[in-house]
Each structure stands twice: as structure tokens, then as C-alpha cells.
Amino acid sequence: MESIIIEIRAGAGGEEAALFAGDLLRMYLRYAESNNWEAAVLDKNLSDMGGCKSAVLKIKGEDVFEKMKYEGGVHRVQRVPKTEKGNRIHTSTASVAVLKIPSKTEVNINPNDLKMDFFKSSGHGGQNVNKRETAVRITHIPTGIVVSSQTQRNLEQNKQAALNILRARIFKKQSQEKEKEISEERRSQIGTAQRAEKIRTYNFPQDRVTDHRIKKSWRQIEDILDGKLNPIIKKLSAADKSKKN
């Protein structure tokens, strides 16, 4: 089973945008429940009227990324807000980012990628340390990472210590690169959350949800916001597959 993070942020529209972001959060929680997925709200920043300025949701389940990846982008709502006294329709937005949680991978070091240098330790450690080349400097050629150890009593101990440091450094580098990829993917999905950058519109007066990527619409907007997303996701998946073929 895989896990994903869904980030929801209120966009243009003030308090109404926050209320809409809260509606999207509820929609995804209900959809997760209907798929027997595990869902948990990790973070939620509420607005004055109980909407969500931002929310972070973790979902774990079968095919969760394949189904939810189509939700990434800017969602737009057209309705009369609770804050509106003149019965005027307002347009507001909320942005959604869907990120796959990477699995922890073990760092395997290819011995052919290593350059080892041995030298005499300059540290304290008794007469044996400074007389023999017990210190180790290891260069990891693919990444250019250089580590050394000279505090252990013999060459093999210093070598193992240096390799442990190297593994830790490589793992950190890989984690940072993954975070960079995730942040770039997140930025590409969110855009600037302005009204024009939209993937889907929820039009309450006309009881219609339109996905602009495939130019299709569905009725029963309340049911969709209650988590009945399958008809939309199936159409998006089919369109995606036909585009790849």
C-alpha cells in the first residue's frame, strides 16, 4: 500500500476561499472513507468562520496516488458565500497538491565508486596511532562527497567509521534531492492559485461541476462534495490512458 500527502490552501476569495478549502478537505476525507483508505488530517489552519486557510491530509491505501493524482491543481467555486448579504455570486479558489510519499531506500555503496587514501593520524590516541597509516579518507566519486576518520585505533575501524559517515551523507543528499523534486512538483500543481488557473469549477447556481482538462461536466454538486468523486476520476483516468496510447 502506498501513501500520499494532500495539501489544500485557500486561494483568491478571502473567507469564502477558506470555506471552500474546508469543503475540499471534507470531500477527500469522505472519498477516502468510501475507498476504505486510511486518512488522517496532519495539519489544519482554521479561518475565523471555520474554513481552512490550509490543511494537510495523509491518505494510505491501494492505488491511492493513481486515483488522487488528478486532483492536483486549482479548484474554483462559484456560489453565494455565507458572508454575502446581497445574494451575489462570488468566485473563489483553492489549490490542491498531491504528493507521493517516497519509500525509505537503503543506501548501497558500490566499492568501485570509492577512492581511499590512507595517512597517519594527527590526533591523540597513543604511540601506535601516529606511527602507522591508520587514518582513512574516502571520496565518493559520483557525488564528490569526501569523508575521513582517524580517531579509531586501527585501519579497519577507521574505514568502517568513514563508510558509516559516507552512508549518512549520501542518504541526506538523496533526501534533499527528493524534497527538491517534491517541492518542484508541488509548485507546478499549485501555480499561484489565481482565478484563471483552474482545473475544475464547482458552479452552485447551475448545480454543475466541470473539469476543464477534459471539458466534461457532472450534476449533483452536493453529492460530489460529499465524496462521490468516482465518476470524475474514472473519466480523467480514461482520458489519461487514451492520451498515452
The span from the CA of 7 to the CA of 171, in Å, is 26
Q: What are phi and psi of 187, to 5 degrees?
A: -65, -40
91 and 12 within one domain: yes
Q: How many domains does the chain have?
A: 2
With respect to residue 184, please indicate whether it lies within any of the assigned structural domains.
Answer: no
With respect to residue 66, please indicate whether it lies within any of the assigned structural domains.
Answer: yes
165 and 197 within one domain: no
201 pLDDT higher than 70: yes
Domain with 26, as residue range(s), is 2-104+190-244
95 and 15 within one domain: yes
115 and 71 within one domain: no
> Which one-letter DSSP state was computed for residue 207?
T
36 and 78 within one domain: yes
CATH code, domain carrying 119: 3.30.160.20
- pLDDT value at position 16? 92
In the predicted model, what is the mean pLDDT of the chain? 85
33 and 11 within one domain: yes
221 and 238 within one domain: yes
78 and 9 within one domain: yes
Range of weakest confidence among 17-26, 117-126, 233-242: 117-126
With respect to residue 98, please indicate whether it lies within any of the assigned structural domains.
Answer: yes
Amino acid at 42: L
216 and 196 within one domain: yes
85 and 23 within one domain: yes
Residue with the larger pLDDT of the pair 241 and 62? 62
205 and 99 within one domain: yes
With respect to residue 230, please indicate whether it lies within any of the assigned structural domains.
Answer: yes
CATH code, domain carrying 13: 3.30.70.1660
Q: What is the mean pLDDT of residues 9-17?
A: 91
Q: What share of the chain is helix, strand, coil (3-state, %, to 5)?
A: 40, 30, 30
25 pLDDT higher than 90: yes
Q: What percent of the chain has pLDDT over 90?
A: 46
Name residues whose C-beta falls within 8 Å of residue 170's C-beta, 6 or more positions apart in sequence. Answer: 107, 109, 140, 143, 145
- pLDDT value at position 175? 74
With respect to residue 55, please indicate whether it lies within any of the assigned structural domains.
Answer: yes
213 and 146 within one domain: no
- Domain boundary (157, 178, 199) is at 178
Distances from the Cα of 169 to the Cα of 89, 92, 100, 128, 199, angstroms: 55, 45, 24, 29, 40
- 50-83 residue pLDDT tens: 889 988 888 999 999 999 999 999 999 999 987 7
